[in-house]
Chain A
Amino acid sequence: MKTVLHKADTRGYAKHGWLQSYHTFSFANYYNQDRVHFGALRVLNDDTVEAGQGFGKHPHDNMEIISIPLEGDLEHQDSMGNTTVIKNGDIQVMSAGTGVYHSEYNKNRDQRVKFLQIWVFPNKKNVEPRYDQITLKAEDRHNKLQQVLSPDRNDEGVWIHQDAWFHLGQFDNGVSTEYKLKGKNSGVYAFILKGDVTINDQKLNTRDGLGIWDADKFTITADSDAEFLLMEVPMEFSV
């Protein structure tokens, strides 16, 4: 098994007035040649947007973009005609493909919104753009892993154009489980949303990240009440 540890305080940081963002991987003005991607996982941004503010209309292409709100409500509009609101407990996915425009604003005037912005390289270029969002059941991740994303439109959660599987967990102190990797040549990037966790022998705290590859499985144990996201992605891929 191989691992790479990214402690929370080693992430890139950007503050643009209304936006605070911690970048696990190189993004925008943050560049670290040793932290560009983990396999097909290219972006993991931990964003906080002030009340009533947000990302104005801007373009994307050829990327699978996943947003997971952690606090507050995010209003989404895009060039495919979607106008929606996502909130904590939802997951949003957008295949940018041949090109889309979208905006993401904090819906509320009196509270901030915090969300994870995750970009995964697609397994094919120039697909037809698509958008989806679903509401997840919180009880389905209490002391067990809840699949929230897969490559299969008929499987649990949202789906993307990549052999990737995401799981959320909300574990009570002391609860442990084993994760078996699904894909050949896959790796898992574990991101701790809250609390303390041990993966095999590696202790992790809030907002730490651990990449794991060359492994068939690993054990994750909550050392306090904890929430985490496991992102399994191909370590080698072609587009």
Chain B
Amino acid sequence: LQNKPLKNAMKKVEILVIGRHPEILSTVVRLINNNPDWYASGAQTDEEALQYFINQSVDMVMFGGGIEPDSEDGLRKRFKELKPEITIIQHYGGGSGLLSAEIQQALAGWNS
């Protein structure tokens, strides 16, 4: 699991990023954490992702690349069972270009 659980007193938007490619996952987590209002952790396996989701206050799940369809379907279902209001989004591009817009679009959905 990349990054430690959030300890800040002021609540940031906590984003769990799941991806199979370790370097891309690390890059995406680092880029998200450049935004002071967001906090990201990365999980490479389904087990890591579920453990983190259960133990932390995750606001948004972002699926990255390389995740098998069965794994993604299973995780989506489990996350919704555990937290029906969870926001789940897909990240495309594996880098800096689209990340901010993908998260901002999801946040706009919260406020609409």
Contact status B101-A96, CB under 8 Å: no
Contacts of A98 in B (CB 8 A): 20-21, 65-66
Q: What is the interface of chain A mostly: helix, strand, loop, or mixed? A: loop
Contacts of A96 in B (CB 8 A): 65, 93-94
In the assembled complex, the CB of B33 is this many whole angstroms from the nearest CB of chain A, namely: 15
B31's nearest neighbour on chain A, judged by CB, is A28
Against B, the Cβ 8 Å flags (1 = close, 0 = not) of A106-130 are 0000000000000101000110000
Q: How far is the CA of A94 from the CA of B78 in the complex (A)?
A: 34
Q: How far is the CA of A196 from the CA of B100 in the complex (A)?
A: 34
Contact status A33-B24, CB under 8 Å: no
Contacts of A28 in B (CB 8 A): 96-97, 100
**Does B38 belong to the interface (CB within 8 Å)?**
no
Q: How far is the CA of A163 from the CA of B60 in the complex (A)?
A: 31
Contacts of A61 in B (CB 8 A): 19, 21, 24, 64-66, 92-94
Contact status B105-A121, CB under 8 Å: no
Contacting A58 at CB < 8 Å: which of B27, B64, B90, B105?
A: B27
**Does A66 belong to the interface (CB within 8 Å)?**
no
Contacting A at CB under 8 A, from B35-92, are 64-67, 90, 92
Q: How far is the CA of A97 from the CA of B65 in the complex (A)?
A: 8
Q: How far is the CA of A63 from the CA of B65 in the complex (A)?
A: 10
Q: How far is the CA of A31 from the CA of B65 in the complex (A)?
A: 23
Contacts of B21 in A (CB 8 A): 59, 61, 98-99
Q: How far is the CA of A33 from the CA of B94 in the complex (A)?
A: 21
Q: Interface size on B (CB < 8 Å)? A: 23
Contact status A121-B97, CB under 8 Å: no
Q: Interface size on A (CB < 8 Å)? A: 25
B19's nearest neighbour on chain A, judged by CB, is A61
Given contacts A42-B92, A99-B66, A126-B65, contact A59 B24 (CB under 8 A): yes
In the assembled complex, the CB of B95 is this many whole angstroms from the nearest CB of chain A, namely: 5
Contacting B at CB under 8 A, from A44-72, are 58-63
**Does B108 belong to the interface (CB within 8 Å)?**
yes
**Does A218 belong to the interface (CB within 8 Å)?**
no
Q: How far is the CA of A31 from the CA of B97 in the complex (A)?
A: 11
Q: How far is the CA of A33 from the CA of B96 in the complex (A)?
A: 17
Q: How far is the CA of A62 from the CA of B94 in the complex (A)?
A: 7
Q: How far is the CA of A62 from the CA of B24 in the complex (A)?
A: 11
A117's nearest neighbour on chain B, judged by CB, is B97
In the assembled complex, the CB of A34 is this many whole angstroms from the nearest CB of chain B, namely: 11
Binding site for A on B (CB under 8 A): 19-21, 23-24, 27, 64-67, 90, 92-98, 100-101, 104-105, 108
Q: List 13 A-B contacts (CB under 8 A).
A: A26-B100, A26-B101, A31-B101, A58-B96, A59-B23, A59-B94, A60-B95, A62-B92, A98-B66, A99-B23, A101-B23, A125-B65, A239-B90
